[in-house]
Amino acid sequence: MIAVSIRRAAVASLATILGVGLSGCVVGPQYVRPTAPLAPSFKEVPPENFKSENGWKTSQPSDAQLKGDWWTLFNDSQLNTLEEQIDPANQTLQQAEANFRAARAAVRFNRASKAPTIGVTPTVGAVRDSNNQPYFNTSYANSGEGNFVLPFDLDYEIDLWGRIRRTVAQAREQAQASAADLETSRLSLHAELAFDYFDLRSADAQRKLLDDTVKAFQSALQLTEDRYNGGASPLSDVTQARTQLQAAQAQATDVDIQRAMYEHAIAVLIGRPPATFSLAPDPITVTAPTIPSIPGMLPSQLLERRPDIASAERSMAAANEQIGIAQTAYYPTLSLSAVAGFAGTSAINWFSWPSRFFAVGPTLSETLFDHGRRRATSDIALAGYDGTVAFYRQTTLTAFQQVEDNLNALHNLEIEAGQQRNATASAQQSLDLFNTRYEGGVDTYLQVITWQTALLQNERNDIEITQRRFESSVLLVKALGGGWNATQLPQRP
């Protein structure tokens, strides 16, 4: 009867302690997202794309959207094929994905502390005391005793002050930050591939231009040699024409070096050795490049679309939880320990009812003096939180700068492209004029050389500006967060 009462009292005590743990308070500050510097609109939006009452309007066509496969905006099938190979093959992305899986497992690891830990340590053995040991009463001599024990141990920390709950919340927020880091890595890799791809196509255009130029310079050299052999031109015209040809050939070789580097970079991005990968030449179009219209957004929307901003914000939330965890050290810790099982002298009586045993009871512990250790831990947590706030705001400012830079670049490069086309046309007209005057004996070959050089440089400028327009388009998409949104973060189950 007494044993039954003791068991009932133990069960009642256990239920009371569990109830206190489940309803315990949470020590520390509640997280509120800090403010970030914002502007009502982007400064560098072209006037034709701005409406004061609505902010930045969506570019035409109006149904264009920045989706996960944002690179399809460029309407390049080869680019699409390459981009699709990054996710399954890129090793940097695989590393980021492994980090996310580890962070997600850390949530489960910390959540396990909400439940008791139960273990078992069975032992089986025999002990026999020596009859000849000092001061031994031979009347107690025997042939040995069996030792059969099957104990079940239970340990459980009562979460009175929310330390465990905050640890779980911190792990969850760190996992969300890791998920955002994964998306940042994915966005950066896709943007880098598109960037390298358009640089390679620009190198193809440069090579085609130089090949055509070399053919023109070979014809010019033949003309000067014919005139020199006929006594109509000095030898200096021949040497000048030969120098011009050789310089163009050297420039073509230099372009080949650059193109190979871009091709190798693309191979590594899609997880292939450079020796097993090649792209056939396909010059970029200069006269009417297919620069996509990129949908716009307000600065406030950028905070939800950039994965690096989301990562910084989740890191702030995790740092806030760390403050609460540090503050719980000022309060006592309550834990419950219990052990129960069977102990016998032989396998026959091991599991009999009289062989049962148990012990249960709570333990309350409190640190009385630590010479400022807990205060230092709290100060470290507060400083860490302040650092994450500063990093979040700086990340936001950097994001706005990147958007503004590329908006400005796209707008002005479009203007510059038109100006450069006019300059190229004028250089071509001048070269045609001086070629005619040289063939008629009116001007020296130096004038032809001068305008050949000017035309080549202007034509290369055409290609470079087109290349920069594609690069700025890719960088703007990256600055806008691609097709990602903060709602894609893993949510609390």
The tens digit of pLDDT for each residue in 189-213 reads: 999 999 999 999 999 999 999 999 9
User: pLDDT-based confidence at 10, cuts 50/70/90?
Assistant: very low
pLDDT band at 492 (very low <50, low <70, confident <90, very high): low
Q: What is the 3-state secondary structure (H, E, C) of 302-314?
A: HHHHCHHHHHHHH
Strand partners, 335: 157, 363
DSSP-derived 3-state class of residue 359:
strand
Residue 340: its H or E element: strand 333-344
Q: Say what percent of the chain tops pLDDT 90.
A: 62
The mean pLDDT of 173-183, rounded to a whole number, is 94
CB 175 within 8 A of CB 130: no
- Binning pLDDT at 50, 70 and 90, where does residue 246 land? very high
What pLDDT is attached to residue 45? 72
> Quick one: pLDDT at residue 344?
87
CA separation for the pair 216, 453 (Å, rounded): 12
65: Cα separation from own chain's centroid: 22
Most confidently modeled of 19-28, 289-298, 450-459? Answer: 450-459
* Burial environment of residue 361 by CB neighbours within 10 A (0 to 12, 13 to 18, 19 or more): exposed
How many Å apart are CA 258 and CA 254, to the nearest integer?
A: 7
Q: Look at 26-40, 71-85, 189-203 and tell me which has the smallest mean pLDDT.
A: 26-40
pLDDT at 53: 36
pLDDT beyond 70 at 3: no
Q: Which amino acid is at 477?
A: V
**Average pLDDT taken over every residue of the chain:** 86
- Predicted pLDDT of residue 475: 95
DSSP element (H, E) containing 366: none
pLDDT at 39 over 90: no
Its sign, for the CA torsion 49, 50, 51, 55, is positive
Contact assessment for residue 120 and residue 153, using Cβ atoms and an 8 Å cutoff: yes
Distance (Å, whole) CA 467 – CA 202: 6
E runs forming strands in 72-144: 117-120, 123-127
Q: How far apart are CA 255 and CA 211, in angstroms?
A: 11
**230 CB contacts (<8 Å, ≥6 apart)?**
none
Considering only residues 4 and 271, tell me which one the structure prediction assigns the higher pLDDT.
Answer: 271
Q: pLDDT tens for residues 318-329?
A: 999 999 999 999
Mean pLDDT over residues 331-353, rounded? 89
Whether the predicted pLDDT of 282 surpasses 80 = yes
Nearest Cα residue to 445 out of 158, 180, 249, 244 = 244
Asked if residue 54 has pLDDT above 60, the reply is no
Question: Is residue 6's pLDDT more than 50?
Answer: no
Please report which confidence band the pLDDT of residue 62 belongs to, taking 50, 70 and 90 as the band edges.
very low
Share of the chain above pLDDT 70, in %: 89
Helix/strand/coil for 363: strand
Q: Pick the range with the lowest mean pLDDT from 23-27, 34-38, 228-232.
A: 23-27
How many Cα neighbours within 13 Å face the side chain of 263? 18
Which CATH number, 3.90.420.10, 3.20.20.70, 1.20.1600.10, 1.10.287.1080, labels domain 31-114+159-331+366-488?
1.20.1600.10
HEC per residue, 177-190: HHHHHHHHHHHHHH
Distances (CA, A) of 69 to 73, 74, 79, 104, 484: 8, 11, 11, 26, 10
Positive or negative torsion for Cα 58, 63, 67, 71 = negative
Write out the DSSP string of 136-193.
Answer: --GGG--S-EEEEEEEEEEEEEE-SSSHHHHHHHHHHHHHHHHHHHHHHHHHHHHHHH
Nearest to 399 by CA among 453, 487, 479: 479
Kindly indicate the confidence band of residue 58, based on its pLDDT and cuts at 50, 70 and 90. Answer: very low
Amino acid identity of residue 226, one-letter, is: D
pLDDT at 5 over 50: no
**In this model, does residue 347 exceed pLDDT 70?**
yes
- pLDDT greater than 60 at residue 186: yes
What is the pLDDT at residue 137? 72
Report, as an integer, the average pLDDT of 379-397.
95
Say what the pLDDT of residue 485 is.
86
Name every residue whose Cβ is closer than 8 Å to that of residue 270 and which is 6 or more positions away in sequence.
82, 85, 86, 89, 90, 193, 277
